[in-house]
Amino acid sequence: MSDTTQVIEREQPTSVTPSTQAKSAERRATIVPAVDVFEDQTGITVMVDLPGVSKDRLDVKVQDGNLVIEAEARVPTPAGLRLRHAEMPAPSYFRAFTLSPDFDTAKIEANLQDGMLTLRIPRREEARPRRIEVKVE
């Protein structure tokens, strides 16, 4: 993990109900993943560090101008072996951003490769800088 990785706690319902309690919630560590954001005239590229996350455990959505990234890593078990004891729980990831209305959220492109999520968020055509030609009369 890098210096900028943060861990927060979120309430998660537990799948095992203790016999002494009807319901309980466990506190689960949620990692705020490290992010790099690059900007150019056509938009931004957001790179999110999500080690151990597969596409089926990744949820990226835009709602009400917010970009929300939620994921859960899987700790792989080698073939032919059964997990008997684990001290390293599969981490959950959560990160959210507010997007400017200058960005075209309908055209976001997402790519997950080797634990790195790359999002390309283009600017709306009318929000892109453009050169105005000055005429001399």
pTM score: 0.70
Q: Are 15 and 95 in contact (CB under 8 A)?
A: no
Distances (CA, A) of 45 to 27, 101, 120, 126: 33, 16, 5, 19
Residue 20 lies in a domain: no
Task: Report the number of distinct structural domains present in the chain.
Answer: 1
In whole angstroms, give the CA distance from residue 119 to residue 110.
5
Residue 61 lies in a domain: yes
Which range marks the domain in which residue 39 is found? 6-15+27-75+89-127
Q: Are 50 and 116 in contact (CB under 8 A)?
A: yes
Residue 44 lies in a domain: yes
Residue 106 lies in a domain: yes
What percent of the chain lies above the pLDDT cut of 90?
Answer: 53
Q: What is the CATH number of the domain that holds 119?
A: 2.60.40.790
- Per-residue pLDDT of 3-22, as tens digits, reads 554 555 555 443 333 443 33
Residue 94 lies in a domain: yes
- Per-residue pLDDT of 31-77, as tens digits, reads 999 999 999 989 999 999 999 899 999 999 999 999 999 999 887 77
- What is the per-residue pLDDT for 32? 94
